[in-house]
Amino acid sequence: MNSAPRRNPDRIPGSASSSSDGALSRPAGPPDAEPHAAWLPEAAFAAIGRRRVAIRGDGALVGTVAAEVAAATAAHGGSFTRLESGSGVSDADLVLTLTEDDDADLPSPPPPTTSRAGDHANLPRGRASTERNDVVGAQRGGVGAQDDVVGEQDGGDESFRVSREDGAVVVEAACDQGLLYGFFHVARLGEAAFDGPDLVERHAPASGLRMLDHWDNVAVHAVMGQVERGYAGGSIFFADGKVRADLSRVEAYARLLASTGINRVAINNVNVHAREARLLTDDLPHVARIAAAFRPWGIRVHLSVSFAAPMTLGGLGTSDPLDPAVASWWRDAADRAWAEIPDFGGFVVKADSEGQPGPFAYGRDHADGANMLAAAVAPHGGIVHWRAFVYDHRQDWRDRSTDRARAAHDHFAPLDGRFAENVIVQVKYGPMDFQVREPVSPVIAAMPDTRVALELQVTQEYTGQQKHAVYLGRQWSEILNFDFAGPDRDDARHAPDSDATPKSDAAPGSDAAPNSADPSHALPPTSVAGIVARSGGIVAVSNAGDDEFWTGHPFAQANLYAYGRLTWDPTADPDALLDEWVALTFPDAAADVVHALHTILDESWETYERYTSPLGVGFMVRPGHHYGPDVDGYEYTPWGTYHFADRDGIGVDRTVATGTGYAGLYPEPWASLYESPATCPDELLLFFHHVPYTHVLHSGKTVIQHIYDTHFDGVERVESFVAAWDRVRGSLPDDGAADRADRVGLADRVGLADRVGLADRVAERLAEQLRSATEWRDQVNTYFYRKSGVPDERGRTIY
Ligand code: GCV
């Protein structure tokens, strides 16, 4: 069904690297085998490929678009013309053009307005995004800072405009990066791009910073493996203790990411071990090769660095951020990085967190540390992503006064206004650690004078480790659209005349007005997306590896896809994004297959929550690897992740009145809503309150009955997933596994039996999901039955 990506024709088979995912059949296959096409099979380009396409303009990324169009038209029978600058464009079904001064034959571009994210009305026309003109630090973001433009760091306008007249489509962009995004926009729409009434739309990303962080190690770590919290085989960047010689897999990855809108990637783990620290020094020429693989796709590379590098790499006696020799070492390091990689992005730093070195050792704070690095990268237009994931991981579990949920706020909120302009404080979405359900971190709203990025986790550390089918688009959409101004503000978001809705860019009477589609217009400045889009952008931990299907579970591709699309437009409907992914990835699928995909994925996040940890309780997982149930696994540990269940009740009292005071860190009305069990949303009740098992929820059920019901129901839902897949798996068209092995001459070497097709891979994972969900159900129900002594009112089996 999926043909292979056309950019990797002749690759050299290499040796297998180790995998951190041991339980199921090795996900990766031979690492250099041609991977699954994911959401960009050749068929996804059929609508473009069978038409007459013209491209006009110069710039590296126009070359990328031209290569895509050439391949599509060659495969599907259309024609492709590369036009000289200034030439007419009338005879094509699809014109992809950089804006030129004499474009009389094209609809005029949108009028200049106040700048917004991704909007660069004053840029010269027809500009290539390779002409970097960084203005990092020119503006500061924050709540309500609507004129701030993170995207200006790229020096390029990423927006594009689509017009359709009598079925002929023109995509026009001021910069080549915008043209690339416009091309993928048309590919995504397929025939629909050419059908329907005439229109003019303008598209721009909500944020200029749309990033993925990899937690890849160069050397295989004794405990964490090649990819920390990676469930998709080895690293696509590193193997055998060095940067891979063959980076064609990185090119294919870059293409996938660019098609969703991602524009930055950090390539190594934020836990920077000794070998990985040297990426910043000895390995720079190889990092430059990785950057070169990403560059044609408009993606800039960043490195995670160790705060102790001046000592470990530089031989200094200190890493004190206020020591001039330390600052000088970092300046030199930055100079070398940018000399090697002119469009290098900057540093990602995990400092004073889970054992990583940081400024605390010298009595300095996070602003001291971050600002020193910021000064080193500023001359190059670089950014420092400084993570706010800071807490005491050596807590005494007997100490009820310390609350890990407070930690990031306690450390960072007092520093608001002290960070340099090119520091982005990167905040995990919740106050704990990527649980299936947490409240949104109050830190995001607490630093109006700091650039703040949201950090999500695409890799499924706590959400089934890519053995469980869990589509996270709905979770991320909920987080992004959480409004610190209160729950009622959500409805106001789309009201045309609401205060929360910035005015349209399109001037009255302009041709852009009727169909304008610029997502930055719809973001209330008090929503998570509104804050970070205008400030520090959106970052997530990637779920991709050298697995044949990229993501271990083939359906986890949907998460990578939806994440990218949501960074571009946080208001996008996550269910519609799932539809997009299904349509692109399974273009020939029969209706019953599509139905099965939706049966499994539509409410898979909620299903996972049901059979694992309802009502906001987290961390009932096996310590260390975090897979499978262990209700008390973290209860008596130093990690600060407790549920405090006893014979009478469960939950953490985080109220101001009687608890840790965490609820009071939110602006009103949330502080009051969370403070009282009467108004706290059911799904977060046990995060904020310790209540008796007999406490009655808004749903009318007691807490204990809710625990029983959700766990039984969760497993039944997984049973229905298995049944749905069993019904259709035989009718799935060939997914090309055998072909892919054949094409690279691997069929004989590895044996086709090692190449599991997509239908089988999914079936295998669903079987494990059912086994695991059953274990969750029985352990959690039994634990709470034994603690509480309250029987299930429906008399089902509990042990
Ligand atoms: C990279 C959690 C994970 C760690 C991860 C850490 C972080 O604690 O379990 O593996 O370390 O988050 O985000 O830094």
**319 against 748, higher pLDDT:** 319
> Can 433 be counted among the known catalytic residues?
yes
Q: For the chain, which domains are there?
A: 9-105+159-203 (3.30.379), 210-584 (3.20.20.80)
Q: How far apart are CA 115 and CA 737, in angstroms?
A: 47
pLDDT at 736 over 80: no
Half-sphere exposure of 155 (CA within 13 A, CB side): 18
CA–centroid distance, 269 to ligand 1, in Å, is 9
pLDDT band at residue 534 under the 50/70/90 scheme: confident
Token pair listed for 476:
């991320």
Give the orientation angle of helix 604-611 with respect to helix 703-728, to 10 degrees: 130
> Among residues 449, 412, 410, which one has the least CA distance to residue 427?
412
DSSP result, 44-78: GGHHHHTSEEEEE--SHHHHHHHHHHHHHHHHHT-
CB 573 within 8 A of CB 579: no
CA–centroid distance, 226 to ligand 1, in Å, is 14
Q: Give the nearest ligand 1 atom to 224 CA.
A: 10
State residue 181's pLDDT score: 98
* 209-234 average pLDDT score: 97
Q: Give the nearest ligand 1 atom to 229 CA.
A: 10
pLDDT at 683 over 60: yes
Handedness of CA 575, 576, 581, 587 (dihedral sign): positive
Q: How far apart are CA 207 and CA 474, in angstroms?
A: 20
* 377-385 average pLDDT score: 98
State residue 522's pLDDT score: 80
The gap between the terminal CA atoms of the chain, to the nearest Å, is 46
Tens of pLDDT, residue by residue over 637-678, are: 999 999 999 999 999 999 999 999 999 999 999 999 999 999
State residue 88's pLDDT score: 72
Mean predicted lDDT score pLDDT of the chain: 86
CA–centroid distance, 352 to ligand 1, in Å, is 13
* 719-731 average pLDDT score: 95
Tens of pLDDT, residue by residue over 176-203, are: 999 999 999 999 999 999 999 999 999 9
* 439-467 average pLDDT score: 98
State residue 84's pLDDT score: 82
pLDDT at 460 over 60: yes
CA–centroid distance, 392 to ligand 1, in Å, is 13
> Can 276 be counted among the known catalytic residues?
no
CB 756 within 8 A of CB 764: yes
pLDDT at 608 over 70: yes
pLDDT at 167 over 50: yes
Q: How far apart are CA 746 and CA 739, in angstroms?
A: 10
Q: How far apart are CA 490 and CA 173, in angstroms?
A: 32
pLDDT band at residue 490 under the 50/70/90 scheme: low
Taking CA atoms only, the protein residue closest to ligand 1 atom 13 is 389
Identify the bridge partners of residue 95 per DSSP, sorted by sequence position: 54, 170
pTM: 0.89
Q: How far apart are CA 252 and CA 247, in angstroms?
A: 9
* Percentage above 70 pLDDT, the chain: 81
pLDDT at 407 over 60: yes
Q: Which of 154, 283, 403, 461 is catalytic?
A: 461
With DSSP H G I counted as helix, E B as strand and the rest as coil, what are the percentages for the chain, rounded to 5? 40, 10, 50
Q: Is 753 exposed, middle or buried (0-12, 13-18, 19+ CB in 10 A)?
A: exposed
Q: Give the nearest ligand 1 atom to 228 CA.
A: 10
Length of the chain: 799
Return the H-helix or E-strand segment holding 386.
strand 383-387
* 572-585 average pLDDT score: 98
Q: How far apart are CA 633 and CA 612, in angstroms?
A: 14
3-state secondary structure of 793: coil
pLDDT at 294 over 70: yes
* 83-92 average pLDDT score: 78
> Among residues 767, 787, 508, which one has the least CA distance to residue 647?
787
CB 477 within 8 A of CB 566: yes
pLDDT band at residue 121 under the 50/70/90 scheme: very low
> Can 354 be counted among the known catalytic residues?
yes
Taking CA atoms only, the protein residue closest to ligand 1 atom 8 is 433
Q: Which residues line ligand 1 (CB under 6 A)?
A: 215, 228-229, 269-271, 350, 354, 389, 433, 461
Residue to probe by mutation, ligand 1, list 215, 231, 460, 462, most atoms within 8 Å of CB? 215
State residue 756's pLDDT score: 64
pLDDT at 511 over 70: no
State residue 86's pLDDT score: 74
**85-99, 283-297, 347-361, 525-539: lowest mean pLDDT where?**
85-99
pLDDT band at residue 752 under the 50/70/90 scheme: very low
Q: Give the nearest ligand 1 atom to 269 CA.
A: 1
Token pair listed for 623:
């310590």
Q: Which of 148, 213, 433, 505 is catalytic?
A: 433
DSSP result, 229-282: T--SSS-SSEETTEE-S--HHHHHHHHHHHHHT--EEE-S-SS--HHHHGGGTT
> How would you write 100-159 as a 3-class SS string?
CCCCCCCCCCCCCCCCCCCCCCCCCCCECCCCCCCCCCCCCCCCCCCCCCHHHHHCCCCC
Q: Give the nearest ligand 1 atom to 541 CA.
A: 13
Q: Which of 105, 147, 191, 354 is catalytic?
A: 354
**84-98, 490-504, 614-628: lowest mean pLDDT where?**
490-504
3-state secondary structure of 310: helix
Handedness of CA 609, 613, 618, 620 (dihedral sign): negative
